[in-house]
């Protein structure tokens, strides 16, 4: 393992004014997205859609630092035969890969899940590296409900995240460590804060046990937000204040950067919350790590709708993607304003 090279990639992933595009939807998830825009989820259509994004020159070169790919996508070629990973590299962004294999029910813990995929992961990472991937992602899912999460669910998911991260670094791949506390449910922001604090503390404890080099990773956490069904939704200012306070309490300064997940927030909420956090932080040097985005749906919902599976709509889809990427890039510097959210023609 070359830690200096891992750190270089990790810092590039959280370059000021740029963020990570999460284009790693599973076949099942992207089918739901395509169903919503009445597009058949064929391999060709999935390829065409992602090629449209990766050929969005302005968005990719100015606002995107890296792209998380799904296993199918990393092996695909564009219509002209160019590997999709090469399109990403040519834009100046870094190709990455989702390596977890989804979730399974956690025995003895009703309603809770554990992420799987550690078997043969070392072999898969070697192949992904050869294909061009320089970072990877593994998502742990923690739900909030009556009597959950249990310490068992938090512990086993943190352990798996750390094992994955150690295997990535051994393969010279930067791990994105993603412990996601879901925003489903009617809990308030304080309950989210408390659960997320437990999850982050356990995750970093496991990372230390597994000897993961913190300088060679990126954290992808949820924000401290109200549950979707909570009667009182926290303001952007409260989300920002509590999330930054939470991170200061839990995340070591050695971590190069934090790339938030959107977690089901609306496009504009995800942008506004990130912007408010960076305004609290003030100058980048006032926080020990960089705060940026690693959004999936919050970057892609608008371009998917604009594209709608039609070749004649590619330019419109690319404009929509560029707009959302630019909005979040501004938010990563605390420079976003509501007035900038104009409709993209």
pLDDT score recorded for residue 343? 54
Instruction: Give the count of beta carbons closer than 10 Å to the beta carbon of residue 110.
Output: 10
Q: Reply yes or no on whether 178 is catalytic.
A: yes
Predicted local confidence at residue 345, as pLDDT? 44
Residue 293: inside a domain, yes or no?
yes
Asked if residue 76 is part of any domain, the answer here is yes
Whole-number Cα distances in Å, 272 to 37, 267, 325, 335: 26, 9, 13, 10
**Choice among 262-266, 277-281, 286-290 with the minimum mean pLDDT:** 277-281
* pTM for the whole structure: 0.94
Summarised one tens digit per residue, pLDDT across range 150-195 is 999 999 999 999 999 999 999 999 999 999 999 999 999 999 999 9
Q: Is residue 146 part of a domain?
A: yes
178, 180, 202, 206: the catalytic one is 178
**Whether residue 213 lies in the annotated active site:** no
Whether the per-residue pLDDT at 298 is higher than 60: the answer is yes
- The pLDDT score that the predictor gives to residue 272 is 94
Mean confidence (pLDDT) of the chain = 94
pLDDT recorded at residue 344? 53
Q: Which domain holds residue 12?
A: 3-340
DSSP string computed for 83-133: BHHHHHHHHT-EEEEE----EEEPTTSTT-EEE---TTHHHHHHHHHHHT-
Q: For the domain that residue 252 is a member of, what is the CATH number?
A: 3.20.20.70
pLDDT in tens, 190-243: 999 999 999 999 999 999 999 999 999 999 999 999 999 999 999 999 999 999
Domain count, the chain: 1
Please report whether residue 211 resides in a domain. Answer: yes
- Calculate what percentage of the chain has a pLDDT beyond 90: 91
Q: What is the pLDDT of residues 106-144, one digit of tens each?
A: 999 999 999 999 999 999 999 999 999 999 999 999 999
Residue 345 lies in a domain: no
pLDDT at position 285 over 90: no
Tell me if 172 sits within 8 A of 1, measured CB to CB.
yes
């Amino acid at each position: 393992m070359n830690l200096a090279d891992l750190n270089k990639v990790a810092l590039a992933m959280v370059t000021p004014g740029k963020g990570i595009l999460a284009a790693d939807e599973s076949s099942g998830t992207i089918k739901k997205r395509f169903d919503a825009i009445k597009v058949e989820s064929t391999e060709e259509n999935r390829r065409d859609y992602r090629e449209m994004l990766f050929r969005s020159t302005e968005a990719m070169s100015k606002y995107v630092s890296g792209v998380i790919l799904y296993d199918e996508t990393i092996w695909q070629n564009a219509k002209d035969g160019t590997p999709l990973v090469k399109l990403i590299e040519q834009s100046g962004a870094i190709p990455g890969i989702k390596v977890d294999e989804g979730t399974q029910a956690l025995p003895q813990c009703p309603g809770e899940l554990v992420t799987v995929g550690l078997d043969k992961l070392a072999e898969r990472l070697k192949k992904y590296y050869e294909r061009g991937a320089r970072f990877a992602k593994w998502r742990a899912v923690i739900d909030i409900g009556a009597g959950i999460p249990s310490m068992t669910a938090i512990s086993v998911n943190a352990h798996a995240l750390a094992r994955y991260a150690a295997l990535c670094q051994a393969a010279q791949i930067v791990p994105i460590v993603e412990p996601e506390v879901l925003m489903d449910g009617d809990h308030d922001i304080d309950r989210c804060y408390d659960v997320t604090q437990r999850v982050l503390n356990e995750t970093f404890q496991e990372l230390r046990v597994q000897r993961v080099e913190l300088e060679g990773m990126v954290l992808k956490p949820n924000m401290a937000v109200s549950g979707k069904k909570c009667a009182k939704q926290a303001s952007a200012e409260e989300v920002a204040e509590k999330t930054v306070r939470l991170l200061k309490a839990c995340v070591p300064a050695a971590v190069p950067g934090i790339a938030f997940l959107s977690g089901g927030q609306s496009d504009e909420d995800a942008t506004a919350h990130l912007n408010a956090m960076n305004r609290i932080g003030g100058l980048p040097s006032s926080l020990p790590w960089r705060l940026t985005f690693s959004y999936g749906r919050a970057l892609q919902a608008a371009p998917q709708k604009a594209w709608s599976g039609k070749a004649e709509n590619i330019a419109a889809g690319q404009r929509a993607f560029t707009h959302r990427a630019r909005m979040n890039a501004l938010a990563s510097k605390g420079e976003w304003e509501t007035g900038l959210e104009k409709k993209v023609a």
